[in-house]
A and B are shown apart, each in its own frame.
Chain A
Amino acid sequence: MNAIGFSAWTSTAEAPAALASVVQSCVTAGIERQALILRLGRLPSTCIRPHHLRLFRAALDPLLDADRASAFRLPDETVVVVWRGAAEKLLARALAAVRHLLADMPAQLPPWEQLAEVTTLPASAEPMLRLIAESEPAAGGAVGTGTSGPRLAPLDAKLLESLERSLTQTDLSSFVRRRPVCHLDEQGVMHLQWEERGLALADLAAMLVPGRSLTADPWLFLRLARTLDRRLLTLLSEPAELLQAPPFALDLTLEGLLGAEFLRFDAALPASLRGGVVINLRAADLLADGAAFTFARDFAHARQYRLALHGATPRLLAAFSVRPGAIDLAQIRFTPGRAAFELPSGVDPACIVLADTDTPAALERGRAAGIRLFKGALARPNDPAVIFTF
């Protein structure tokens, strides 16, 4: 079960994903829900000891009697209760109990407005998803490059060389992240198509080269990515990694795809996953060596892998042959602020994945362009285990 009911108050590991799934289902299905956000993490640490948390739980208990109510305790000690329909009296009782608890606390507390907020979904889906993302400090390093955050200095050749040496001694397994890519059906339900497996580059950089960005210099990053490919492929070639794995996607360089480690990975791939693995390639990498790409494409297709282009914009899609048998898929990023986008004529929307689908606006604009494959905070498979708790 993904949702964290109050009976499982102490567990927070799955709460962000479960709450995000609820938000996403509100957006895709257009179902309205109420939410109470209680930012306990803003209280002094002396006020959120385990016995305090038990008292807060008891204070919020009445609200769980609301229709399809569920509660989520996020890693930063923010508690979110979500329910459907009117529950003014229950809400008032819960809030009164929380206020009563706070009144008894000796420390200086933040204003009530900063601690508690009542909001409505899906209207407030965007701030809710932001709140979820910000509650997970360890997940700051999303799969891939990640463009948000402060501008960091690029690597230089000297650092890259020492980084390549360090990587041979570093256990990368804790840096592997999984992000779902989902298909949105006509009923507004998200279905998992595959999960992207990649390294949290920002986290890796923070540990090995603090203050530097691994991706700021694209060519040094390409060089580094080859080393990372070899390590990741070796990791994935372990039988336990592939056993019962769902279909997945990997970011690879052309050299990684044509390397000895990929051949070992290919040999280890179970028959059930044959045809279910997507190889993500960067546009600059494949155009830097067109002959290698042509060979790699034919090899990948012969072994039943699908290829996905990364780093293109809707406008650039017109220049690539995005269709099954050529470049099978392309991933474009949603750009906030851009009113709408259209896919160039001749590009089949079924071949396009819209990344950064973190807001209802992104989902809506992708849908309007005919796109059905999404990646981002709102692209989470609707898990029956989440839904039944409502």
Chain B
Amino acid sequence: MLDDLSEIAASQPAERALLETVRRVLRRPSGWVALVLHLSRLADRRPYHGRIARALLAEAVPRGGGEIHALSNGDLLLFCDAQEPSPARLLERLFPPALISSWRLETDALDLIAYAAGRLTEMPVTPPPPTPHAAAEPAARVPELFTERDAIAPQMVAGLFHRQSGLRLIQGGMQLAFRDLTPDLARLAARAPEAEGAFSDIALRRHYLAALDPPLLAALSAALGSFSPLDIAAPRLEATLHLPLSLPGVLSEGFAHLAAQSRRAGVRLGIKLDLAEALTDAVALEAARGVIAEAGARFVLAGVTAATLACFTPAALAPDLLLLDYSSDLAAMNPDAARLFGPRGPAHVALRQADSEATLAWGVAHGISLFQGRHVEAMLGAARMLGCPDARACTLGQCIARAGALEPAGRFGCTRPALLDGIGRARAAA
């Protein structure tokens, strides 16, 4: 069987080397152990996973002799002396047990052969594109963006943010609870092609996003009374608007000005602070909370994930609203509701990334009634289309995309744009 694979292996140097080693050790399998770390099964694989795992495996090599193979799909394979202490226990402290296989070649040679055959016959794997969180390797350059030279004019702001809706599920129906503005990273990156890679660096991304505060605040102040999607006082909005700001943004003159305007207009704002941003300066956080409360706004805490909950109890910051990011990890950890929600319970939690009915069901089972995500947008879109006389000309996807846009160009094609800002006062079944 191994001979049949030689030809295939020719195009994959790492796999070819593995094949040679497998052949060699199977001639005298006694005393050998093969340890495989299946990093290719890791959902959110980062460069440091491989780097650190490889270093730990390398420690086992000089002791008893052995070999490490780094395969093109990201898996690491160690052949070592069975008499030596195995690094498997160390790896188990860092990776789920399902990612680790250990085979004694005297008895488990077939498992190794099957594994090697699997690697040799699968298509070469290209590395996945970086996710927004995958900032383990820094961008090479630090381009200057959004400074005085290329400042973002308030009238351009609408094109750089998109909007989602927060929905409250109530007995037999739903209500629009809030609107949530989020910077559109793709558009920001497209605006600054020289900054390629910079937005995937967590530190640079947050620095650049903080530079959006002044134009956003100026744009909102300017839009007051304009009945545009950025008009926080427009009566049809019916819901609190969540603004993403940095700590300096909250403590700025621009926010003081907008807060005074919103107070006069009787509008409630939600100030969305990302958890990491909030903890850059504990003293400034206290000051910002005072400013938010004085403005009559809500303190909305975002950026809370399953991984965050492993080391942090966000309820201790007593936000008015906690935006919790749903993920399969969150569902798997089944967080202790009392610890997560604090004394105020789930009423002040909104579940984000509610992209499926199952997510909503998970939230409801945990006492959550506020949701934000693709499934919510679909529910709202369907409700809008039910009440829209021109709905036949549109698809649900178009309606959702237009409702998320804040600029006229993004809403092009909709003949009833006023409906995009509400749910048509319809009360759809949940």
A255 to B202, CA, bound (A): 11
A220 to B306, CA, bound (A): 26
Q: Which residues of A contact B90 (CB under 8 A)?
A: 302
Within 8 A of B (CB), among A126-174: 156-158, 160-161, 164
Q: Per-residue 0/1 for B297-329: is the Cβ within 8 Å of any A Cβ (1 yes, 0 no)?
A: 000000101111111111011000000000000
Our pick among A263, A285, A321 for the contact of B55 (Cβ within 8 Å) is A263
Identity of the chain A residue whose Cβ is nearest the Cβ of B308 in the assembled complex = A290
- Contact across chains for A284 and B280 when beta carbons are under 8 A apart: yes
Residue B143 interfacial (CB < 8 Å): yes
- Stretch from A5-13, A107-115, A234-242, A308-316 forming part of the interface with B: A308-316
- Contact across chains for A219 and B145 when beta carbons are under 8 A apart: no
Within 8 A of B (CB), among A235-266: 255, 258-260, 263, 266
Residue A44 interfacial (CB < 8 Å): no
Chain A nearest Cβ from B398, distance in angstroms: 35
- Contact across chains for B49 and A161 when beta carbons are under 8 A apart: no
Q: Which residues of B contact A226 (CB under 8 A)?
A: 138, 203
- Contact across chains for B310 and A290 when beta carbons are under 8 A apart: yes
Q: Which residues of B contact A291 (CB under 8 A)?
A: 44, 133, 305, 307
Chain A nearest Cβ from B148, distance in angstroms: 10
Q: Which residues of B contact A263 (CB under 8 A)?
A: 51-52, 55
Our pick among B303, B309, B311 for the contact of A286 (Cβ within 8 Å) is B311
Given A156-B147, A327-B311, does the pair A301, B93 have CB atoms closer than 8 Å?
A: yes
Q: Which residues of A contact B207 (CB under 8 A)?
A: 157, 217, 219-220, 223
Within 8 A of A (CB), among B128-150: 133, 135-136, 138, 141-145, 147
Identity of the chain A residue whose Cβ is nearest the Cβ of B284 in the assembled complex = A218
Our pick among B49, B135, B306 for the contact of A289 (Cβ within 8 Å) is B135
Q: Which residues of B contact A285 (CB under 8 A)?
A: 276
Chain B nearest Cβ from A50, distance in angstroms: 48
Residue A340 interfacial (CB < 8 Å): no
Chain B nearest Cβ from A172, distance in angstroms: 19
- Contact across chains for A294 and B307 when beta carbons are under 8 A apart: yes
- Contact across chains for B311 and A321 when beta carbons are under 8 A apart: yes
- Contact across chains for B133 and A311 when beta carbons are under 8 A apart: no
Q: Which residues of A contact B282 (CB under 8 A)?
A: 283, 311-313, 315-316
Our pick among A157, A164, A297, A320 for the contact of B312 (Cβ within 8 Å) is A320
A327 to B90, CA, bound (A): 19
Q: Which residues of A contact B306 (CB under 8 A)?
A: 290
A220 to B46, CA, bound (A): 22
A237 to B129, CA, bound (A): 33
- Contact across chains for A223 and B48 when beta carbons are under 8 A apart: no
A238 to B93, CA, bound (A): 29
Q: Which residues of A contact B52 (CB under 8 A)?
A: 258, 263, 295, 299
Within 8 A of B (CB), among A52-102: none
- Contact across chains for B307 and A293 when beta carbons are under 8 A apart: yes
- Contact across chains for A290 and B305 when beta carbons are under 8 A apart: yes
Q: Per-residue 0/1 for A208-223: is the Cβ within 8 Å of any B Cβ (1 yes, 0 no)?
A: 0000000001111011
- Contact across chains for B143 and A219 when beta carbons are under 8 A apart: no
A295 to B206, CA, bound (A): 22
Residue B94 interfacial (CB < 8 Å): yes
Given A160-B142, A220-B203, A311-B279, does the pair A292, B48 have CB atoms closer than 8 Å?
A: yes
- Contact across chains for A258 and B136 when beta carbons are under 8 A apart: yes
Residue A326 interfacial (CB < 8 Å): yes
Q: Per-residue 0/1 for B276-303: is the Cβ within 8 Å of any A Cβ (1 yes, 0 no)?
A: 1101111100000000000000000001
Q: Per-residue 0/1 for B165-207: is the Cβ within 8 Å of any A Cβ (1 yes, 0 no)?
A: 0000000000000000000000000000000000001111011
- Contact across chains for B144 and A156 when beta carbons are under 8 A apart: yes
Q: Which residues of B contact A312 (CB under 8 A)?
A: 279, 282
Residue A271 interfacial (CB < 8 Å): no
A369 to B306, CA, bound (A): 32
Residue A298 interfacial (CB < 8 Å): yes
Residue A103 interfacial (CB < 8 Å): no
Chain B nearest Cβ from A24, distance in angstroms: 27
Chain A nearest Cβ from B427, distance in angstroms: 37
Residue A288 interfacial (CB < 8 Å): yes
Residue A319 interfacial (CB < 8 Å): yes
Identity of the chain B residue whose Cβ is nearest the Cβ of A291 in the assembled complex = B307
Residue A268 interfacial (CB < 8 Å): no
- Contact across chains for B313 and A319 when beta carbons are under 8 A apart: yes
- Contact across chains for A302 and B94 when beta carbons are under 8 A apart: yes
Given A158-B144, A223-B138, A223-B142, does the pair A318, B202 have CB atoms closer than 8 Å?
A: no
- Contact across chains for B93 and A302 when beta carbons are under 8 A apart: yes
- Contact across chains for A284 and B313 when beta carbons are under 8 A apart: no
Given A218-B280, A258-B51, does the pair A157, B94 have CB atoms closer than 8 Å?
A: no
- Contact across chains for A292 and B46 when beta carbons are under 8 A apart: yes
Chain B nearest Cβ from A353, distance in angstroms: 16
Residue A287 interfacial (CB < 8 Å): yes
- Contact across chains for A290 and B307 when beta carbons are under 8 A apart: yes
Residue B275 interfacial (CB < 8 Å): yes
Residue B210 interfacial (CB < 8 Å): yes
User: 11 new A-B pairs (CB below 8 Å) besides A157-B147, A219-B207, A299-B52?
Assistant: A157-B143, A158-B142, A219-B204, A220-B203, A288-B276, A289-B133, A290-B305, A290-B306, A291-B133, A291-B307, A316-B279
A-B contact pairs, 28 of them (CB 8 A): A157-B143, A161-B141, A161-B143, A218-B280, A219-B207, A219-B280, A222-B203, A258-B51, A258-B52, A283-B279, A283-B282, A284-B280, A286-B311, A287-B303, A287-B308, A288-B203, A288-B276, A290-B308, A290-B312, A292-B48, A295-B48, A295-B49, A298-B93, A311-B280, A313-B282, A316-B282, A316-B317, A319-B313
CB-CB nearest 8 A-B residue pairs: A290-B307, A319-B316, A288-B276, A258-B48, A218-B280, A223-B203, A219-B207, A290-B308
Residues of A near any B CB (own CB < 8 A): 156-158, 160-161, 164, 217-220, 222-223, 226, 255, 258-260, 263, 266-267, 283-295, 297-299, 301-302, 311-313, 315-316, 318-321, 326-327
